[in-house]
Structure 1
Amino acid sequence: MSFLDTRHKKKSFTLTTLLLSGLLLLLFYIGLTYLDPPIENGIAVNFGTMDFGSGEVQPKEKVKSEPKEVVSEPVEQVEPVKPQEVVAEEAPVEKVLTSNDEESIKIKQQQEAKRKADEAAEKAKVEAERIAKEKRDAEEKQRQEQEAKKKNIDALIGGIGKSDGTSTGSEGDDNKPGDKGNPDGDPYAPTYYGAPGVGNGGSGYGLSGRTLSNQGKVSQECNEEGVVWVRITVDRSGKVIKAEPGVKGTTNNSPCLLEPARKTALLYKWNSDSKAPAQQIGFVVINFKLGQ
């Protein structure tokens, strides 16, 4: 054959033929086997023509029998079941909060905080007004007390509070506040009585509105010098009923000068005046020199 012209082709043909033959033989012996018809599978059931029976003899034909009495059982009428409506339970507000609920809670919290702040501000305002009122009342009370005290002082000192002056202070030998003396007098003069112009260098006297009618003198016994001012009290008849030596203006407070000065003042006599005060204050100045 022309297609087997070479040694290799011949060898290939031989091998191919052997392999195909062996494959056919293998399929013939080990191929799938089956029965025709195939074996039935299942459970064998006894022959019979009725739904009931008893005994061991198998009839070959139908068995004569009375018709089977069929007892009909009452059939319960079953009402059709209505489909139940499924009611979805509302979720508790406490567990599920929507955004609207959160916003409402925030608004309520803000309103509550504003209310508390307003109440605190109102309380603070009322307290401040109360403190201010108490302060005003205390200041008014203090002013009234000072004004009443001033009026009392004015009544005691004869209305010095109504003076047109601007200076303040108090000077004199009485128990009442004021500036005792004469408007035309010397502010450094020691006496508060008599006419202005009485100096410190010599003897003098003074009693407002009264003139001197008589005077005397008691000499010293110690040979000292000095000026002794004596405060005198004169009655309406002009008699000196009291003499106090050594008051303001005295330059020597030696007892040997004070006693003669007191006795000398008691010798003074003023004219009587029925319109004068029952006791009028004045002064006597005694100037003691050496050898006198």
Structure 2
Amino acid sequence: MDRDKIKGIAGTVIFHALLLVMLIFLALRTPLPLPEEAGVEVNLGYSDEGMGEIQPRELAMGEAIPAPSQPAVSNEDIVTEDTEEVPAIQPVSKEKPAEVVKTEPRPAVKPEPKPEPQPVVNQNAMFKGMKGSSSQGGNQGTTGKPGDQGKPTGDPNAQGYDGSGGAGGGVSFSLEGRTRRQIPPPPNTFRDRGTVVVTIYVNRAGEVTRISAPARGSTTSNAELIRLAKDAAMKARFSAKEDAPEEQMGTITYIFELN
């Protein structure tokens, strides 16, 4: 920092210091002596009450100031009456509350449940379990006439007599874009009835790769029927489809019925 700036700063500090000292001793000092307090002029008078605009003469020495007059006290006896007629209070009659008649609630009548209609089952589309030997020898069918009822393209172990032929009269399947090559029926060793729906997963070659049961639509939880349906479903084969998903899902429905 050059010397001129130092001199300028020093001069500025000294100037402001002197200015502050002058303000303290000249402008901020209280003037002495202090001025006396000023009063308020009051009118001359000899009483606390008066009226008019004319100043009266001064009272002579010894002249008494008239005392204010006191009201005269009457000597008559004041008769007061302590008793006072009070109107008689009539008793208020309370109205009796109306009696509430309690009615016992009637028990709610529960509507009788409607019986669920029993599903009508096509007897010709059922697997027959534990079937006995026929008394008609080589005759088979339901028409009551001699002969072997059925179709030339049918399965000799099938129990259905209506349709276009083929295996599994009690079997139906759902698999989009495929036809069945083989859906073997379960063996007739079961001793219960019901419907088992098996979910199947088929590869592009038409083979069943995995299954799960019972699926939606099943009407039984019998372990024997479910096992027979699952074993039969794993042996099912369908037509190949190259543009199908790697694993296509479908269902096979097995209907079991006793004689």
Which protein has the larger Cα radius of gyration, Structure 1 or Structure 2?
Answer: 1
TM-score range, shorter chain: 0.3 to 0.5
Normalising by structure 2, what TM-score? 0.34
Which of the pair has the greater relative contact order for Cα pairs under 8 Å at 6+ separation? 2
